[in-house]
Chain A
Amino acid sequence: MKSATFFSSLSSLFFANKHSSHTGRFKFEISSDAKSPKKGFGRLREWFDRSIYRFDRDAFVLLQIQAVFLVSRQGKVRLQKWYTAYPGKDRPKAIREITSIILSRGSRLCNFIEWKDLKVIYKRYASLYFCMCVDADDNELDCLEVIHLFVEVLDRYFGNVCELDLVFNFHKAYYILDEVLLSGELQESSKKSVARVISAQDTMVEKAKETGISHMMSSSSK
């Protein structure tokens, strides 16, 4: 049968490049794009939809903060922290893209933008933009106030915090962030409590330093 031979030649081809992928010019058509965020059908429905495509993402990406980063008005990154397994090499690109959108937005506009299937909540404080990538379904104002809470904690620690504080003490900023957020969730909403923990950490480091120095001095005097 003519068609059968035609097909068998096809199938031999199939075995030959079973694992090779296509290259060249393509027209891509998938009728229902599973990755696009769906809105407005009740949480359960959304969860159902999400659970369908949780195979190609983290087991659960659900209402968590995916990344936090601080950028200056010149687009310089001052802090970045990722809570998902977003590939390391794509991170700078993602930050660049988001930053360029945010920097071009006027001050009258709202503090939320949609980027890919995420939402970016941002707020400008003096010369710094604090940005948070969250799930499309997360509560925007809630996240916006998490940013403000973080800023207040920084302010309390540094005393009227400015960009330079964060540049030269970026490691402190990391410590503080780790006490405010964990696993992409708000860990502590009490500024007092965070301040207590951070100052306890500082004391411990100082103590370690002193003993280290006295140890060195005593060993050198011997």
Chain B
Amino acid sequence: MALSGMRGLSVFISDVRNCQNKELERARVDKELANIRTKFKNDKGLTPYEKKKYVWKMLYIFMLGYDVDFGHMEAVSLISAPKYAEKQVGYIVTSSLLNENHDFLRLVINTVRNDIIGRNETFQCLALTMVGNIGGKEFSESLAPDVQKLLISNSCRPLVRKKAALCLLRLYRKNPDVVSVDGWADRMSQLLDEREIGVLTAVMSLLVALVANNPDAYWNCVSKCVRVLERLTRSQDIPQEYTYYGIPSPWLQVKTMRVLQYFPAIDDPNIRRSLFEVLQRVLMGTDAVKNINKNNATHAVLFEALALVMHLDAEKDMMAQCVGLLGKFIAVREPNIRYLGLENMTRMLMVSDVQESIKRHQVQIITSLRDPDIRFRIIFIDLLVQCISLCSIRRRSLDLLYGMCDVTNAKDIVEELLQYLTTADFAIREELALKAAILAEKFAPDLSWYVDVILQLIEKAGDFVSDDIWYRVVQFVTNNDDLQPYAAAKARDFLDKPAVHETMVKVAGYLLGEYSHLLSRRPGCSPKEVFSIIHDKFATVSTPTKAILLSAYIKILLHSQTVDPELQNHVLAVFRKNETYLDAEVQQRASEYYALSRKGPSMVDVMAEMPKFPERQSALLKKAEDTEVDVADTSATKLRLMQLTSTAVVVADQKPANGVHPALTRVPSGQRNIEAPTVPVANGGQSPAPVDFLAIEAAPTHSAPESSPLVGPGDSLALALMDNQASTVQPTGSVTEWFDALCRKDSGILYEDPFIQIGLKAEWRGNQGRIVLFLGNKHTAPLLSVKAVILPPRHMQLLTSNVPDTIPPRAQVQCPVEVTNLSPSREIPVLDFSYNNSSAMVSFKLRLPVIMSKFLQGATLAPADYIARWKALMGPPNKLLQEVVRGVKPLPLQEMSDLLGSLHVAIAPGYDPNVNNIVGAATYFSENPTLCLIRIETDPADRTQIRLTVGTPDTSVALELKEYIKERLVDIPSGAAPTSLPGMPSPADDLVGPAASLAGLI
């Protein structure tokens, strides 16, 4: 090839190409590498041409994916060559071959710098290109000023300046400190006046990064950006070479609109008006054209404009226009545009969910989706469902569909999903089924429809219907009397169909067992017929289902008004037969039921219908929230809140502890008080936790193969139930006390019960902390299914390491957690811990002592310095936060200052002329360290009242810190309230002596 000009290189490339298989290729490459290695070893003999050739070969080999671990020096050394041809090769190979952290790069910083500040423009370009592509932190520090000079120089050609702009961008990304905010904002503003589009594009890229990091500093650029947009959209002064398929540089348009999205809000009415004019123009000119590139470029601009409109919180009309456009995009055939249309539509819905201010638009968006024309609506849903089938679009569509479902359209959407379920891709069926079930539950217009949907769901996609789904339908039916006959009849109909899915057998068996007596008058629904239709399936179903069916049989038998001897014989025969069944659960049920049924009508009470379930949160909704945790912004916090407040969720996970089937008992009315035995939750009993009745199929692992004594009267069954619940694990001490102790020191016990001890050890440095949780199994049996989930507050970053699933007996496991504090807040992380002690699941939540004072460090200042700083804070804008706090624990002055000291505040005695005042200083470490000055003025006449002043340059720190100190002063650490409300006087103050409360604090 003439262009290549290097015969050796061409020969090598064709050799590699001709290799028949991977092994031959590797052999050829290895041979070449060996050759290059020897050539490089006797460096003397290499001409620059040869050196270039071998370096290119190395790059080629590297590009093919082979490891090239030598010869880097030769590539780097070419950079220092005097001739352009060698330098060029050196720069380009180095920047492709080496990573930014490579040590060799340090060797050439000087050469690179000389090239940048030298007079040779071509060398400047080469050097800037390399630094722009792989420059690291060290380059940032030594080259940034030179690069900045090139960018703003008047004598440099555009070619150099645009490279300098992007090079500076790279250096800024590596180290934001290299661009000083003050001076540079004006420079940027001037640079935006640039007429040359190439330079302007590069400058705009730089501006995106600058503004994203610090929007406040670059306000002066807003109007300039709008002007650039005006120039582009009006095609003023745009050279032909900078139009792309007739569109004035779409990339610059996109970049400029991107910059504007990083400013929190644009309030200036004039700028806003001209910006909206520009956007209006963009939104109007969107007719699809044949040329795909032109089409793409137009739409690239358009989607960016949409994002900007959403960001600006535009007027109703404009939003409506956007929604209209999105609706149009979703309807086009072109997959890219449809994908983006869907993505943006989803984004729009989500934005409105998150921000209250946009909420009014949501209504309007959905109204437009619910066009008066019903056909449009159906077409739209249909379209979305079709989109779901298109590989990567499908998840977006499903999300969107899910997001826009409400009472008015739920029926259409769910039915559409059901239709689609049978033909859908396997990979997506489970999600489809789950979402359909959730939507049906959330928006069911009436409950019978809900039952229909779930039963259809099971029929159409039984394999993909999780147990949670049918548990939920059973709950609904049980709790709604009028639904029971309907559900039972439906279930019976479904059993008539050929090829019934096992999940259907389960749910139908359960429903018919409970409620078939309500149907007994209907044709084909006599107890005998119901029994035989269920029993048809018995032989083919799995063991857990068999257990459910056995329960159904005895219920059918005992519910029937007149005992049909034939039915009784049948049922008894089934029980007899299964008394020797292999599985312990089935065996036990069979023998117990056999004994019970022989006792005759006196047992009717025991086998009565199930009582109503307590209202609880749907496990499905919870599941949906769990899966959304990483996509939805608020879910993490929602989840956290939920777990803090609701015990229902915890309860739903509890399984009966042994082979007793609580599900089958109805406690005689006299014993109602133990119908819902309370389970004190480990971290300090919150609310009564009912037994999980739905665990009707006690899983084999939980059923101890003991043969529990045949129980006679119903009471003892109930008692057994209660005993079982009473054994719930209790902590051996006060969780609150442990927590408080850990607030004061860095190692100690966090939690302990008869099975597990959780110890904690922490180290703090600046805004970073390292916590190690020690999980010690005190028991002689292993602890199973150990789970530790830490729910971090928003202002903290937590890196949790793994917790092994099992802790062997008498063993300890460590679980390190890395904490980074990012912004001031008093919130603390919560550890959600659960384990299985081989007889029951234990779960509890613990606050982790990552409190504000852990990020405080005492600061000692000279008196003059202290006063100067205090004054600086006092001057405008006033950064001092002051509050009179009443209801403080009455403490002697010394103890109060000790208390402050225990919060890591360095007390500066004598700085304040008034002896009744305490002043101190501390540095608070979040993302940036902040110096905080604190003053407490006490009133010798009234010790329960103080004036607290906190001053920091950062008001958010001051606010949080003030509240935090206030809590310490007011709150009594051993008290039950985790965080006292600001300003809330502690009623117990008078009862607790100062010494006692102090002892609790230090």
- A-side interface residues toward B, CB under 8 Å? 3, 6-7, 9-11, 13-14, 17, 21-22, 24-34, 36, 38-45, 47, 51-53, 55, 58-64, 76-81, 83, 85, 87-89, 92, 95, 105-106, 108-114, 139-142, 144-146, 148-149, 167-172, 174-175, 178, 182-183, 185-193, 197, 200-201, 204-205, 208-209, 212
CA distance A62 to B262 in the complex (A): 12
CA distance A113 to B339 in the complex (A): 11
Which one of A55, A106, A168, A209 has the highest number of Cβ atoms from chain B below 10 Å of its Cβ? A168
Closest to A192 in B: B241
B249 at the interface (CB under 8 A from A): yes
Provide the residues of chain B in CB contact with A6, threshold 8 Å: 757, 776, 778
Residues A14 and B797 in contact, CB atoms below 8 Å apart: no
Of B391, B797, B804, the residue contacting A25 (CB under 8 A) is: B804
- B-side interface residues toward A, CB under 8 Å? 1, 3-5, 10, 13-14, 17, 48-49, 56, 59-60, 63-65, 67, 83-85, 88-89, 92, 96, 99-101, 122, 129, 132-133, 136, 159, 162-163, 166-167, 169-170, 172-176, 197-198, 201-202, 205, 208-209, 212-213, 215, 239, 241-242, 244, 249-252, 254, 258, 261-262, 264, 293, 296-297, 299-300, 303-304, 307, 310-311, 335-336, 338-340, 343, 346-348, 350-351, 354-355, 390-393, 629-631, 633, 636, 639-640, 732, 747-749, 752, 757, 759, 761, 772, 774, 776, 778, 786-792, 797-805, 812, 814, 820, 822, 832
CA distance A113 to B391 in the complex (A): 10
Of A36, A39, A83, A208, the residue contacting B350 (CB under 8 A) is: A39
Of B63, B172, B300, the residue contacting A142 (CB under 8 A) is: B300
Known A-B contacts A6-B757, A13-B812, A87-B99; the reply to A185 vs B347 at CB < 8 A is: no
Q: How far is the CB of B399 from chain A (nearest CB, A)?
A: 10
Q: How far is the CB of A59 from chain B (nearest CB, A)?
A: 5
CA distance A111 to B390 in the complex (A): 13
Closest to B86 in A: A208
Provide the residues of chain A in CB contact with B311, threshold 8 Å: 42-44
17 contacts between A and B (CB under 8 A): A10-B774, A11-B747, A29-B803, A33-B630, A39-B631, A43-B258, A44-B261, A59-B176, A60-B213, A62-B209, A109-B392, A110-B339, A139-B254, A141-B299, A148-B296, A189-B252, A204-B84
CA distance A132 to B300 in the complex (A): 16
CA distance A96 to B803 in the complex (A): 32
Provide the residues of chain A in CB contact with B208, threshold 8 Å: 62-63
Residues A185 and B59 in contact, CB atoms below 8 Å apart: no
Residues B297 and A145 in contact, CB atoms below 8 Å apart: yes
Provide the residues of chain A in CB contact with B351, threshold 8 Å: 40-42
Residues B792 and A31 in contact, CB atoms below 8 Å apart: yes
Residues A141 and B822 in contact, CB atoms below 8 Å apart: no
Residues A189 and B65 in contact, CB atoms below 8 Å apart: no
Residues A174 and B296 in contact, CB atoms below 8 Å apart: no
Residues A7 and B350 in contact, CB atoms below 8 Å apart: no
CA distance A197 to B197 in the complex (A): 16
Residues B805 and A53 in contact, CB atoms below 8 Å apart: no
Residues B340 and A187 in contact, CB atoms below 8 Å apart: no
Known A-B contacts A167-B17, A187-B163; the reply to A105 vs B336 at CB < 8 A is: no
Q: How far is the CB of B331 from chain A (nearest CB, A)?
A: 15
Residues A55 and B242 in contact, CB atoms below 8 Å apart: no
SS class, residues of chain B in contact with chain A: helix
Residues A183 and B1 in contact, CB atoms below 8 Å apart: no
Q: How far is the CB of A2 from chain B (nearest CB, A)?
A: 9
Closest to B252 in A: A189
Residues A43 and B303 in contact, CB atoms below 8 Å apart: no
CA distance A140 to B791 in the complex (A): 34
Provide the residues of chain A in CB contact with B89, threshold 8 Å: 171
Q: How far is the CB of A126 from chain B (nearest CB, A)?
A: 16
Provide the residues of chain B in CB contact with A169, threshold 8 Å: 1, 3-4
Residues A109 and B390 in contact, CB atoms below 8 Å apart: yes
CA distance A44 to B214 in the complex (A): 11
Provide the residues of chain B in CB contact with A171, threshold 8 Å: 4, 56, 59, 89, 92
Provide the residues of chain B in CB contact with A178, threshold 8 Å: 92, 129, 133
Q: How far is the CB of A171 from chain B (nearest CB, A)?
A: 6
Residues B251 and A189 in contact, CB atoms below 8 Å apart: yes
CA distance A111 to B814 in the complex (A): 46
Of A11, A25, A63, A172, the residue contacting B761 (CB under 8 A) is: A11
Residues B336 and A112 in contact, CB atoms below 8 Å apart: yes
CA distance A89 to B311 in the complex (A): 40
Which one of B63, B92, B799 has the highest number of Cβ atoms from chain A below 10 Å of its Cβ? B63
Residues B202 and A185 in contact, CB atoms below 8 Å apart: yes
- Give the 7 A-B CB pairs with smallest separation, nearest first: A26-B802, A141-B300, A40-B350, A40-B347, A110-B335, A36-B630, A32-B636
Which one of A27, A38, A87 has the highest number of Cβ atoms from chain B below 10 Å of its Cβ? A27
Q: How far is the CB of A162 from chain B (nearest CB, A)?
A: 12
Provide the residues of chain B in CB contact with A34, threshold 8 Å: 797
Residues B202 and A187 in contact, CB atoms below 8 Å apart: yes
CA distance A13 to B747 in the complex (A): 14
CA distance A61 to B3 in the complex (A): 37
Known A-B contacts A11-B747, A95-B65, A186-B205; the reply to A26 vs B803 at CB < 8 A is: yes
Residues A77 and B65 in contact, CB atoms below 8 Å apart: yes
Residues A144 and B336 in contact, CB atoms below 8 Å apart: yes
Q: How far is the CB of A174 from chain B (nearest CB, A)?
A: 5
Provide the residues of chain A in CB contact with B804, threshold 8 Å: 22, 24-27
Q: A183-B132, A201-B88 are in contact. List 5 more A-B contacts (CB 8 A).
A: A39-B346, A140-B300, A144-B296, A204-B85, A208-B85
Provide the residues of chain A in CB contact with B757, threshold 8 Å: 3, 6-7
Of B96, B215, B636, the residue contacting A81 (CB under 8 A) is: B96
Of B96, B747, B802, the residue contacting A22 (CB under 8 A) is: B802
Provide the residues of chain A in CB contact with B787, threshold 8 Å: 27, 29
Provide the residues of chain A in CB contact with B293, threshold 8 Å: 145, 148
Known A-B contacts A31-B639, A85-B99, A183-B169; the reply to A41 vs B789 at CB < 8 A is: no
Residues B774 and A14 in contact, CB atoms below 8 Å apart: yes
Provide the residues of chain A in CB contact with B338, threshold 8 Å: 110
Closest to B68 in A: A88
CA distance A189 to B205 in the complex (A): 13
Residues A76 and B304 in contact, CB atoms below 8 Å apart: no
Provide the residues of chain A in CB contact with B172, threshold 8 Å: 60
Which one of A31, A80, A105, A205 has the highest number of Cβ atoms from chain B below 10 Å of its Cβ? A31
CA distance A70 to B344 in the complex (A): 29
CA distance A38 to B629 in the complex (A): 10
CA distance A188 to B163 in the complex (A): 9
Residues A44 and B65 in contact, CB atoms below 8 Å apart: no
Residues A10 and B759 in contact, CB atoms below 8 Å apart: yes
Residues B776 and A10 in contact, CB atoms below 8 Å apart: yes
Which one of B212, B304, B350 has the highest number of Cβ atoms from chain A below 10 Å of its Cβ? B212
Residues B129 and A182 in contact, CB atoms below 8 Å apart: yes
Residues A189 and B175 in contact, CB atoms below 8 Å apart: no
Closest to A58 in B: B173
CA distance A42 to B299 in the complex (A): 19
Of A43, A61, A80, A183, the residue contacting B261 (CB under 8 A) is: A43
Known A-B contacts A13-B812, A27-B802, A44-B264; the reply to A141 vs B776 at CB < 8 A is: no
CA distance A55 to B927 in the complex (A): 10
Q: How far is the CB of B961 from chain A (nearest CB, A)?
A: 21
Closest to A13 in B: B812
Provide the residues of chain A in CB contact with B732, threshold 8 Å: 3
CA distance A51 to B209 in the complex (A): 12
Residues A30 and B800 in contact, CB atoms below 8 Å apart: yes
CA distance A21 to B814 in the complex (A): 10
Q: How far is the CB of B72 from chain A (nearest CB, A)?
A: 11
Residues B84 and A205 in contact, CB atoms below 8 Å apart: yes
Provide the residues of chain A in CB contact with B390, threshold 8 Å: 108-109
Q: How far is the CB of A8 from chain B (nearest CB, A)?
A: 9
CA distance A102 to B56 in the complex (A): 29
Provide the residues of chain A in CB contact with B162, threshold 8 Å: 187-188
Residues A183 and B133 in contact, CB atoms below 8 Å apart: yes
Known A-B contacts A77-B65, A189-B197, A208-B84; the reply to A58 vs B393 at CB < 8 A is: no
Known A-B contacts A6-B778, A11-B747, A171-B56; the reply to A29 vs B789 at CB < 8 A is: yes
